[in-house]
């Protein structure tokens, strides 16, 4: 038998020749095969698994059989690591090549495997973590040797990992002294790459294979986070909580005002948001049953006000023109500087785009990739402030519109946040004008059998943002409300409209025990609040389209919690978004969180974000003279001037009111009597 054997690694197709007894891991390293290992071939981490394929392979003219590999040894038999050995797999570091063989490297063993996650968009992402773990051996110190501990670590990293480092973090020197004994020592070294080089961040005694990271989207309403294994990209835990700053100001500008008008108000806002993030991090590691000390990387994204408050910067310049940012560059700093429980971790905050367009929008761009596409993409992240991005690989424009909190249920008479019991879906019968509703936490509509029993626990407590959008759109399509948002006096044809001062209201759900004796209604003021919010959003979109000389977008992506639950058809009926082919309108959930995760587990994604942010054209809606006219045109449903050919194919507009303005004025001035008690 030849002393050299052919080995083919799949799926890469890389092929090489191995001397008798060479381990599969050593050959993989020689050939550049993407085979993971943290423990340096000691059979401890379980990451270098390969799956032998046996049989005749005519493609490579190879006869691969089980005698061409060494039998499982005692190390494999005793292996009891966190990562189980898969059925039919072998540890590459313990498996010797004795003949020609085909070895498959499964995705879980590929260091740079593509990551696929359903809950967050990581399509096309390749693992490239900033921090990595490396297990090394350093020899027993000897009398007369001039070598230091750092020199021994440097030499071991080069010899065992072909990795050179430029320096040591001071804390790493202290942990190195503690971890290295008077005998030969096995150490786990964390190495972190940056633009200026590689540095040893920490040293642990023995073999330690846990290296974790947390990505956080610091929203003005909610704070959401993901805990990941940096070596595999696996999401270990996901969670969120309300931003406690809400008690100091419901929207961003009210928080800026709080900082302006209260001594140390900005410090108080900073303190409460940092405490909330610390609480979230602790809950994530508790849920995953991991040690918080193993969290090495944190990525934080947020709008400019959240960005400044998180970093302890003064947010007040963002409350008035020229809306000057303290910095437009990415920020890296130790987690301990932000009082987080991850004392050894590094925090990365990507750059903001403009005074009202923040690092969260940069993360959305990264996640959805308009700059990587030839098609014109419209990205809309709807919140208290709506961030808007328009463009493609040739040009990107961004703006922010002050939509206010109406879409989140605030400023609405029966509005509330999206919790069980809140109405989230509405349909109005075109003949009886009675509404059928579906609340969160219930799969049954109110006009279906069993609804009362199904909602007995939660009740009907109000209406959330997606429900408000559908309710107003249905009122418009059923003829109960005009194009310019006036609720008509329809009492002669139904019992669901009632006078409310000098205007009218529509009863979505009557007063019952479920509603604690109060009806759920849509008032004229509610309609106006939604009109103002949607007009601000749409005017910002139309302004970007004018600047970019774009008449029609190819695709629309709705980001954020509100965007994830809104029906695209109803969004177009109200005119929230431009007319577009329905298959091209899609909710993308927390795209900012997805972008943050991308930057957490890929250094290349951080660089891409920093590069693309510099190319984005910023449009300031507050100083644009065209914004006011576009705002007025956008007040009408769906729009005062722009056609809606795609929407016309989807929606029946035959019931829409055509009552002239003069008639509406007469109706509003005519003495009325209430025919239904609300």
- Tell me how far apart the alpha carbons of residues 142 and 151 are, in angstroms, rounded to a whole number: 14
CATH of domain 361-405+530-650: 3.30.420
Question: Taking the domains of the chain in order of start, what are their residue ranges?
Answer: 4-109, 131-205, 213-354, 361-405+530-650, 414-522
Is residue 664 pLDDT above 70, yes or no?
no
Going by pLDDT thresholds of 50, 70 and 90, the confidence category of residue 506 is very high
Backbone angles phi, psi at 341, to 5 degrees: -75, -10
Question: What per-residue confidence (pLDDT) applies to 179?
Answer: 83
Lowest mean pLDDT among 225-229, 419-423, 534-538: 419-423
Burial 192-201 (b: 16+ CB within 10 A, else e): bbeeeebbbb
Is residue 675 pLDDT above 50, yes or no?
no
**Any idea what DSSP says for residue 399?**
E
Q: Which of 60-64, 192-196, 639-643 shows the highest mean pLDDT?
A: 639-643
Going by pLDDT thresholds of 50, 70 and 90, the confidence category of residue 475 is very high
Its CATH class, for the domain covering 213-354, is alpha beta
Answer yes or no: are the C-beta atoms of 241 and 282 closer than 8 Å: no
Question: What per-residue confidence (pLDDT) applies to 226?
Answer: 96
Going by pLDDT thresholds of 50, 70 and 90, the confidence category of residue 529 is very high
Higher-confidence position of 237 and 322: 237
Question: What per-residue confidence (pLDDT) applies to 184?
Answer: 73
Structure tokens at 260: 């302006």
Answer yes or no: are the C-beta atoms of 451 and 445 closer than 8 Å: yes
Question: What per-residue confidence (pLDDT) applies to 112?
Answer: 57
Is residue 371 pLDDT above 90, yes or no?
yes
Q: Which of 56-60, 83-87, 491-495 shows the highest mean pLDDT?
A: 491-495
Question: What per-residue confidence (pLDDT) applies to 561?
Answer: 72
Is residue 677 pLDDT above 80, yes or no?
no
Structure tokens at 329: 């560059």
Q: What is the pLDDT of residues 446-461, one digit of tens each?
A: 999 999 999 988 889 8
Question: What per-residue confidence (pLDDT) applies to 666?
Answer: 41
Is residue 141 pLDDT above 80, yes or no?
no
- Tell me how far apart the alpha carbons of residues 465 and 336 are, in angstroms, rounded to a whole number: 38
Cα dist from 112 to 32, 34, 92, 106, 604, whole Å: 12, 7, 17, 12, 12
Question: What per-residue confidence (pLDDT) applies to 678?
Answer: 27
Is residue 116 pLDDT above 60, yes or no?
no
Going by pLDDT thresholds of 50, 70 and 90, the confidence category of residue 144 is low
470 Cβ contact list (under 8 Å, min separation 6): 425, 426, 427, 567, 570
Q: What is the pLDDT of residues 175-184, one digit of tens each?
A: 898 888 666 7
Report the mean per-residue pLDDT for the chain: 87
Going by pLDDT thresholds of 50, 70 and 90, the confidence category of residue 671 is very low
CATH architecture of 4-109: Roll (3.10)
Share above pLDDT 70 across residues of the chain, in percent, rounded to a whole number: 94
Q: Which of 387, 397, 393 is nearest to 357 (CA)?
A: 387
- Tell me how far apart the alpha carbons of residues 662 and 666 are, in angstroms, rounded to a whole number: 6
With vertex at residue 245, the alpha carbon angle to CA 244 and CA 249, rounded to the nearest 5 degrees, is 135
Rg (CA), the chain: 30
Answer yes or no: are the C-beta atoms of 99 and 19 closer than 8 Å: no
Q: What is the pLDDT of residues 565-610, one digit of tens each?
A: 889 999 999 999 999 999 999 888 889 999 999 999 999 999 999 9
Its CATH class, for the domain covering 131-205, is alpha beta
Q: Which of 517, 490, 521 is nearest to 507 (CA)?
A: 521
Going by pLDDT thresholds of 50, 70 and 90, the confidence category of residue 665 is very low
Answer yes or no: are the C-beta atoms of 93 and 109 closer than 8 Å: no
Question: What per-residue confidence (pLDDT) applies to 111?
Answer: 66
Higher-confidence position of 220 and 345: 345
Is residue 228 pLDDT above 90, yes or no?
yes
Is residue 85 pLDDT above 50, yes or no?
yes
Question: What per-residue confidence (pLDDT) applies to 662?
Answer: 40
Going by pLDDT thresholds of 50, 70 and 90, the confidence category of residue 485 is very high
Is residue 195 pLDDT above 80, yes or no?
no
- Tell me how far apart the alpha carbons of residues 561 and 223 are, in angstroms, rounded to a whole number: 11
Is residue 420 pLDDT above 80, yes or no?
yes
Determine the average pLDDT of the residues in 364-374. Answer: 94
Answer yes or no: are the C-beta atoms of 403 and 376 closer than 8 Å: no
Higher-confidence position of 161 and 115: 161
Higher-confidence position of 389 and 624: 389
Is residue 505 pLDDT above 60, yes or no?
yes
Cα dist from 338 to 22, 278, 313, 593, whole Å: 49, 9, 12, 20
Pairing assessment for the beta strands 462-463 and 422-428 based on DSSP bridges? parallel
Is residue 103 pLDDT above 60, yes or no?
yes
Domains 213-354 and 361-405+530-650 share a fold: yes
Is residue 80 pLDDT above 60, yes or no?
yes
Indicate the SS3 state at residue 306. helix
């Amino acid at each position: 038998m030849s002393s050299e054997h052919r080995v083919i690694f799949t799926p890469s197709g890389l092929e090489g020749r191995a001397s008798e007894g060479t381990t599969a891991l050593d050959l993989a390293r020689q050939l550049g095969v993407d085979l993971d290992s943290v423990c340096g071939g000691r059979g401890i981490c379980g990451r270098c698994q390969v799956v032998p394929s046996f049989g005749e392979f005519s493609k490579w003219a190879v006869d691969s059989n089980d005698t061409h590999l060494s039998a499982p040894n005692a190390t494999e038999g005793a292996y009891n690591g966190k990562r189980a050995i898969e059925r039919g797999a072998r540890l590459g570091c313990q498996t010797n090549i004795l003949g020609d063989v085909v070895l498959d490297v499964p995705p879980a063993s590929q260091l740079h495997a593509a990551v696929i996650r359903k809950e967050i968009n990581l399509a096309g992402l390749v693992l490239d973590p900033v921090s990595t773990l490396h297990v090394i051996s350093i020899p027993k110190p000897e009398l007369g040797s001039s070598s230091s501990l750092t020199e021994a670590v440097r030499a071991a990293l080069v010899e065992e990992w072909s990795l050179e480092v430029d320096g040591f973090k001071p804390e790493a020197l202290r942990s190195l002294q503690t971890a290295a004994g008077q005998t030969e020592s096995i150490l786990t070294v964390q190495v972190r790459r940056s633009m200026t080089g590689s540095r040893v961040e920490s040293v642990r005694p023995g073999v330690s294979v846990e290296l974790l990271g947390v990505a956080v989207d610091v929203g003005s309403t909610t704070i959401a986070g993901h805990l990941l294994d940096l070596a595999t990209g696996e999401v270990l835990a996901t969670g969120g909580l309300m931003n406690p700053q809400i008690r100091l100001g419901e929207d961003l500008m009210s928080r800026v005002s709080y900082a302006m008008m209260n001594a140390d108000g900005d410090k108080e806002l900073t303190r409460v948001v940092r405490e909330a993030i610390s609480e979230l991090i602790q809950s994530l590691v508790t849920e995953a049953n991991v040690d918080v000390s193993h969290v090495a990387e944190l990525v934080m994204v947020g709008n400019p006000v959240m960005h400044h408050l998180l970093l302890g910067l003064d947010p007040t310049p963002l409350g008035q023109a020229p809306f000057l940012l303290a910095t437009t560059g990415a920020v890296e700093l130790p987690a301990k500087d932000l009082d987080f429980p991850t004392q050894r971790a590094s925090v990365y905050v990507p750059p903001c785009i403009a005074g009202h367009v923040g690092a969260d929008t940069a993360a959305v761009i990264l996640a959805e990739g308009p700059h990587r596409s030839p098609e014109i993409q419209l990205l809309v992240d709807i919140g208290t402030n709506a961030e808007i991005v328009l463009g493609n690989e040739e040009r990107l424009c961004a703006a922010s519109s002050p939509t206010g909190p109406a879409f989140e249920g605030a400023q609405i008479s029966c509005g509330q946040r999206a919790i069980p019991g809140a109405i989230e879906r509405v349909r109005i019968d075109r003949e009886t004008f009675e509404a059928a509703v579906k609340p969160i936490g219930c799969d049954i509509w109110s006009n279906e059998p069993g609804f009362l029993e199904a909602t007995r626990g939660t009740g009907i407590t109000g209406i959330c943002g997606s429900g408000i959008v559908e309710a107003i759109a249905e009122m418009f399509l059923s003829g109960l409300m005009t194009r310019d948002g006036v609720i008509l006096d329809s009492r002669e044809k139904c019992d669901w409209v009632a006078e409310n001062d000098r205007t009218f209201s529509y009863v979505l759900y009557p007063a019952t025990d479920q509603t604690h004796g109060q009806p759920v209604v849509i008032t004229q003021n509610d309609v106006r609040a939604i009109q103002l919010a949607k007009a601000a959003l749409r005017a910002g979109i139309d302004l970007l389209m004018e600047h970019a000389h774009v008449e029609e977008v190819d695709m629309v992506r709705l980001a954020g919690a509100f965007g994830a639950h809104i029906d695209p058809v109803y969004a177009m009926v109200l005119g929230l978004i431009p007319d577009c082919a329905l298959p091209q309108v899609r909710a993308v959930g927390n795209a900012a969180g997805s972008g943050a995760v991308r930057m957490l587990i890929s250094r290349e994604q951080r660089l891409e974000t920093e590069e693309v942010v510099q190319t984005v054209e910023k449009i300031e809606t507050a100083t644009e003279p065209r914004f006011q006219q576009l705002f007025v045109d956008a007040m009408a449903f769906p729009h005062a001037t722009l056609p809606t050919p795609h929407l016309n194919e989807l929606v029946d507009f035959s019931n829409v009111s055509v009552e002239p303005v003069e008639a509406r004025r007469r109706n509003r001035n005519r003495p009325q009597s209430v025919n239904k008690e609300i």
